Chains A and B, each alone.
Chain A
Amino acid sequence: MEQYVTLTIDGATVRAPKGRSVLDVALEYGICIPHLCHVPNLSDFGACRLCIVERVENGRSKVTTSCTLLVQDDMVIRTNTEKIRKLRRNIAELLVAEAPNSRAVQDIAVRCGVTKVRYPFRNKNCTLCGRCVRVCAEMWGARAIGFVGRGKERHVDFPFGVRPDFCKECNSCIQLCPMTITPCDGPMAPGEERLCGKCAAQLMVTEKIPDTCVLCDLGNGFNCARHV
């Protein structure tokens, strides 16, 4: 017998099974909360910080990631306040400056309202979202890759940098990787990185109407209600 709780998200009363995350529940109800490191059916660890929401309690609001927050009775959640939009936009700006060479990341940046990038672009080939690591460990139990190193040295690697024989070569890691989804113009040359947001036309639209759905590839993956 599943237990249900009732909470409020963006003013709407929502009934959800106990033990689910606020993010999962919101997505099910068609409320698009941008996210990157969340993958349905894999554990959540709150790394990308895009899914932040405001939790209002005792008259005070606290910013927290919705993927790690479990639903509770009488919880009051706000996903789209001005404060949250600004914070999310800044995080997305940091992400796209790190990894512009990914349609998924560019989509997220535009979806979050990034119109200019104030940092020099770098062309890192990894967002450290951990989707590959988690699918390898949790879906297949192979544990052939993992996070190695600390801080800015953190990267994904095989043990000792060599593919072990227990890697099943299932390619799940590649299929989930946001970097493998390339922009339609192909990879950007070094030094020519820019905010492209799928294409310049998309940028013009979201500038005028923020929160416009950009039909991003991630949304396709989680069956977002807007991406029909």
Chain B
Amino acid sequence: MDLNDTPEQAAYRAEVRAWLEQNASHAPATRGRGDEEQAVAAHRAWQRRLAEAGYVGVTWPAEHGGQGKGPLQQVVINQEIARAGVPGILDAIGVGMLGPTIIAHGTDEQKQRYLAPMLHGDEVWCQLFSEPAAGSDLAGIQTRARRDADGSWRLSGQKVWTTNAQFAAYGLLLARTDPDAHKHKGLTMFIVPMDAEGVTIRPLRQISGEPEFNEVFFDDVKLEPGSEVGAVNGGWGVALTTLMFERLTIGAGSEGMGYRADRFARAIASDPVAAKDPEVRARFGELATELLALRFTGYRLLTAISRGQIPGPEAGMGKITAVNGAIAAGDLIADVLGPEALDPESEWSYLISFLPGLKSAGGTEEILRNTVGERVLGLPPEPRLDKGIPFSELRAKERQEVAS
């Protein structure tokens, strides 16, 4: 076992570190209040600077502006960015998940048009998958796309939990194109210009008071012919590709979430009484065990990634450990510091407010456990009442049941 870099990785790390040292003065503040437009502009410029140095989309093939490197080089960049205390790129969702999906399923035209501006942060992207009535059961989405005679599309519906929608140029959107097909069969993936007529974006404020997400409404939005990514009615397979890259992004970034035992230890140790209190020590030791396990499970995951393996559903367990460990930490710190910890200006207030929502983000704990139970342990699935029924009938049946 060896957590050290290979000579090749060490050389790459040194290069990235030296570049960051020279350029860190151009980085915007990691988190701040104030004017969002200015903050986005500064962050965009930072992504462009990183991209021009070859540190954005390093795993993308060279023909699309990437470096054709492995996921471990991406991890080295993430680690060095965290170490330098500067923010990562503005459009991590686009570069990490949506761009790779377009590379895998898009047409040559789409790749030519969209990938370079995405990489440089000139056009930010958002992910338009979840809906108010379809989260855990993503294939139950109802946003409708209808094809006109000229091959263009008309889009109507609502998406939710959309990060970055307020300044995104494009969105990757999953819509239902054949309601008479079975649930997973009648879906198609689209590229949607966020400035199109009929698109309405509203911020969704979270517990902290900050708008982390948006809801996006589509009212008869016209999409040009050729807006679809992958085959018409083949959207579920495209969505699975995006979710696979999401796991890879989470796996490669598990260290970067900031939920580290040593960070929480400093907060508790700042109170000398707390540091000697048996109850505080017992609670802290338990949660530190979880967070240390998270970190070293992450290294096992990175080892697998560096060998070219794609993380399986078991990677989702790390999210459960991270969220619950961090919730326990926030709770303990609030118990130690008292009401002051909940002051909006406190380092901990935001963390405490943010975590309840994170429990559901990127797969609820319950759905992750179902997936791991079935796909890793091989336990039988729960009976599904939606199998083999056209989606339109399924919806009618659901409405009938609620009414009765």
User: Do A and B come together as binding partners?
Assistant: no
Binding site for A on B (CB under 8 A): none
Binding site for B on A (CB under 8 A): none
